[in-house]
């Protein structure tokens, strides 16, 4: 799905452009994923596990643009990728087609400026346009900022899975399972 480009002003007055990344953005996208993965323990990957090549990432971004129901929305500040969010379908079966999963990440230097909220609005609007009936996500129980963001947009907690993440130091984290009816 193509996201129609839009520019908004953040809480600190900086301008931010939301648009679909395309194949030409692949290397920057990989650098972003690596950086954001290294900045937080709340995403699924360690930064050294971001091993896709730029070609593979370019194909992925193109497939997202061509998809009728899956989307990536990227946020650019001063022309640089600052945040990213996406909607994934479940397997293409009639019994699952009403559900979608979402993910979001913002570079740490831009936290607290409203970027997460702007992307959540765009994701919810896109999920409705794609005719999903519910959006689902998982969030590490210690991720207070994420939980605040999701509750603000009407996600409700319906369960908690222990031991969802197992870190390299042997510690583990539980995840809350959240859902928003669209
Ligand atoms: C979670 C995340 C997406 C939030 O993005 P953000 O741009 O900081 O979000 P916003 O600026 O829109 O803030 C969202 C809300 O969190 C609140 N918030 C800020 N700091 C907070 C804190 N320390 N604890 C709890 N809530 C906090 C804000 O007040 C805001 O609510 P408000 O608009 O009603 O004031 C971002 O921190 C992030 O990418 N984290 C790392 C990756 C991640 O955790 N992704 C989600 C995985 S499930």
Where do we find the tokens 């600052």? 82
Domain count for the chain: 1
pLDDT per position as a tens digit, 151-164: 999 999 999 999 99
The predicted pLDDT at position 46 comes to 98
Supply the CATH number for residue 65's domain.
3.40.630.30
**Two tokens at 104?**
């979001």
d(CA 57, CA 54): 5
**Mutate which of 46, 75, 107, 112 for ligand 1 pocket (most atoms within 8 A of beta carbon):** 112
Domain span at residue 49 reads 6-133
The answer to whether 173 and 140 are in contact (CB under 8 A) is yes
Q: What is the whole-number distance in angstroms between the Cα of residue 181 and the centre of ligand 1?
A: 21
pLDDT band at 70 (very low <50, low <70, confident <90, very high): very high
User: Could you report the per-residue pLDDT of 36-47, keeping only the tens digit for each?
Assistant: 999 999 999 999
What pLDDT was estimated at residue 17?
98
Ligand 1 neighbourhood includes 37 CB (under 6 angstroms): no
Cβ neighbour number for residue 157 with a 10 Å cutoff: 14
What mean pLDDT value characterizes the chain? 97
Position 124 in a domain = yes
In DSSP notation, 93-149 reads -TTTTTEEEEEEEE-GGGTTSSHHHHHHHHHHHHHHHTT-SEEEEEEETT-HHHHHH
d(CA 98, CA 49): 31
Residue 152 beta carbon below 6 angstroms from any ligand 1 atom: yes
Classify residue 140: in a domain, yes or no.
Answer: no
In a domain, 150, yes or no: no
Residue 78 lies in a domain: yes
The CB of 86 under 6 Å from ligand 1? The reply is: no
Average pLDDT for residues 101-118, to the nearest whole number? 98
Terminal Cα distance for the chain, rounded: 18
Tokens of 108: 């740490």
Closest atom of ligand 1 relative to the 143 alpha carbon:
44
Protein residue whose Cα sits closest to atom 8 of ligand 1: 111
Q: What does the pLDDT read at residue 42?
A: 98
Structure letter (DSSP) for residue 4: P
Q: Looking at ligand 1, which atom is closest to the CA of residue 111?
A: 8
Q: pTM higher than 0.85 for the full model?
A: yes
C-alpha of residue 160 to centroid of ligand 1, in Å:
20
Secondary structure class of 170 (helix, strand, coil): coil
pLDDT band at 27 (very low <50, low <70, confident <90, very high): very high
| Average of per-residue pLDDT across 78-90 | 97
Q: Judge if the beta carbon of residue 114 lies within 6 A of ligand 1.
A: yes
């Amino acid at each position: 799905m193509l996201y129609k480009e839009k520019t908004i002003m953040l809480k600190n007055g900086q301008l931010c452009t939301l648009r679909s990344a395309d194949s030409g953005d692949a290397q920057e996208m990989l650098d972003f994923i690596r950086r954001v993965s290294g900045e937080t323990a709340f995403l699924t990957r360690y930064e050294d596990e971001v091993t896709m090549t730029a070609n593979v990432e370019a194909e992925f971004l193109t497939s997202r643009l061509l998809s009728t129901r899956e989307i990536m929305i990227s946020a650019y500040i001063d022309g640089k990728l600052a945040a990213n969010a996406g909607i994934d379908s479940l397997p293409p079966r009639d019994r699952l087609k009403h559900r979608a999963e979402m993910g979001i990440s913002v570079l740490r230097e831009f936290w607290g400026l409203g970027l997460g909220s702007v992307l959540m609005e765009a994701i919810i609007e896109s999920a409705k346009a794609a005719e999903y009936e519910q959006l689902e996500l998982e969030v590490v129980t210690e991720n207070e900022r994420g939980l605040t963001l999701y509750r603000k947009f009407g996600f409700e907690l319906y369960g908690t899975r222990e031991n969802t993440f197992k870190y390299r130091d042997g510690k583990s984290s539980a995840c809350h399972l959240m859902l928003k009816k669209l």
